[in-house]
């Protein structure tokens, strides 16, 4: 399995427009973060998790080294714009076959409401060719690959994380319902959100993410969905336990 981080930033992206802080003006490429998303390649299938407003630029960079124009599926964690704002740009991937989007019913409804032109009966020529597949909190398959949804709480909003094999991607969570931890046993790689050192109402801060990592106990964990208030990558990585890394854009992990 290959995991490529397309974006590792929070909803504003880093740098934040107009901000002159040390992270936003850093020359370290790892401090420049697109909105959070990953591309998974496993058994020859390509699965995208979330499709935010930076999707087009993320894919242009990806296609420079790995050319493909087909996605087996797009898993959407929740309806917030930083996770769905690029769905319209999937149009180039849907030219031969509809792009299948997997998400829970209220998120599917939100997508339909925001993009009515995509789902009309008589479509305008050239609109994105997308197919919404509603999922529940139970395993499902995308081109033969088993996906296990994991219920997470983004403050009061129920959202999904996803487990594929021994890899799990959990973003935007504040808490995990106790009964979901069973699904997270025996992970090689856990990706989990850590916004910044400070407390936030809807996102884990760094300490809360580290606590989850201790509890879930994966072989290795990567932090994602960082704010510019997270701190400089080069400084913060020295403060973390050995089995925890800070993910950065365009980083790739190979899992055998
Ligand atoms: Zn987000
Ligand atoms: Zn800043």
Domains of the chain as residue ranges with CATH? 2-15+24-138+147-251 (3.60.15.10)
| pLDDT tens-digit series, residues 187-217 | 999 999 999 999 999 999 999 999 999 999 9
Has residue 88 got a pLDDT over 90?
yes
| Alpha carbons 137 and 159: distance in angstroms, whole number | 10
* Cβ atoms 46, 68 nearer than 8 A: yes
* Cβ atoms 207, 236 nearer than 8 A: no
Question: If you measure from the C-alpha of residue 235 to the centroid of ligand 1, how many angstroms do you get, rounded to a whole number?
Answer: 24
* pLDDT level of residue 124 (50, 70, 90 thresholds): confident
| pLDDT tens-digit series, residues 35-65 | 999 999 999 999 999 999 999 999 999 999 9
Q: What is the pLDDT of residue 125?
A: 83
Dihedral over Cα of 10, 14, 20, 22: its sign: positive
Has residue 156 got a pLDDT over 90?
yes
Query: Strand 145-154 and strand 157-164: pairing?
Result: antiparallel
Indicate which ligand has the atom closest to the C-alpha of 15: 2
Structure tokens of 149?
């949804």
pTM over 0.95: yes
Question: If you measure from the C-alpha of residue 248 to the centroid of ligand 1, how many angstroms do you get, rounded to a whole number?
Answer: 16
Indicate which ligand has the atom closest to the C-alpha of 77: 1
Mean pLDDT to the nearest integer, 97-125: 94
Has residue 102 got a pLDDT over 90?
yes
Question: If you measure from the C-alpha of residue 12 to the centroid of ligand 2, how many angstroms do you get, rounded to a whole number?
Answer: 10
Q: Mark the residues whose beta carbon lies below 5 A from ion ligand 1.
A: 82, 172
Question: If you measure from the C-alpha of residue 226 to the centroid of ligand 2, how many angstroms do you get, rounded to a whole number?
Answer: 11
Question: If you measure from the C-alpha of residue 73 to the centroid of ligand 1, how many angstroms do you get, rounded to a whole number?
Answer: 20
Average pLDDT across the chain, whole number:
97
Question: If you measure from the C-alpha of residue 125 to the centroid of ligand 1, how many angstroms do you get, rounded to a whole number?
Answer: 32
Of 200, 207, 210, the C-alpha closest to 174 is 200
Question: If you measure from the C-alpha of residue 220 to the centroid of ligand 1, how many angstroms do you get, rounded to a whole number?
Answer: 22
Question: If you measure from the C-alpha of residue 16 to the centroid of ligand 2, how many angstroms do you get, rounded to a whole number?
Answer: 6
Has residue 256 got a pLDDT over 90?
no
Has residue 123 got a pLDDT over 90?
no
Instruction: Write down the number of H helices and E strands in the chain.
Output: 6, 14
Question: Which residue bears the tokens 């087909």?
Answer: 70
Q: What is the pLDDT of residue 126?
A: 86
């Amino acid at each position: 399995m290959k995991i490529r981080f397309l974006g590792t930033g929070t909803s504003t992206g880093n740098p934040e427009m107009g901000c002159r802080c040390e992270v936003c003006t850093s020359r370290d490429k790892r401090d420049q973060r697109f909105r959070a998303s990953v591309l998974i390649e496993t058994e020859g299938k390509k699965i995208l998790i979330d499709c935010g407003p930076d999707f087009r630029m993320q894919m242009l960079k990806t296609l420079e080294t790995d050319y493909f124009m087909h996605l087996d599926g797009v898993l959407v964690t929740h309806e917030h714009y930083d996770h769905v704002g690029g769905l319209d740009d999937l149009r180039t991937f849907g030219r031969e076959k509809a792009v299948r989007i997997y998400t829970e019913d209220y998120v599917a409804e939100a997508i339909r409401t925001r993009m009515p032109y995509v789902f009309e009966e008589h479509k305008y020529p050239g609109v994105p060719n997308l197919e919404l597949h509603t999922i529940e909190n139970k395993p499902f398959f995308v081109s033969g690959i088993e996906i296990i949804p994991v219920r997470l709480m983004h403050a009061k909003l129920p959202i999904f994380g996803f487990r594929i094999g021994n890899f799990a991607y959990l973003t935007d969570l504040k808490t995990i319902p106790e009964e979901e931890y069973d699904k997270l046993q025996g992970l090689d790689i856990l990706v989990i959100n850590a916004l910044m050192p400070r407390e936030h109402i809807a996102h884990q801060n760094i300490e809360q993410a580290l606590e989850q990592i201790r509890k879930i106990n994966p072989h290795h964990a990567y932090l994602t969905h960082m704010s510019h208030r997270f701190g400089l990558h080069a400084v913060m990585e020295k403060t973390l336990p050995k089995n925890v890394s800070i993910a950065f854009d365009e980083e790739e992990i190979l899992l055998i």
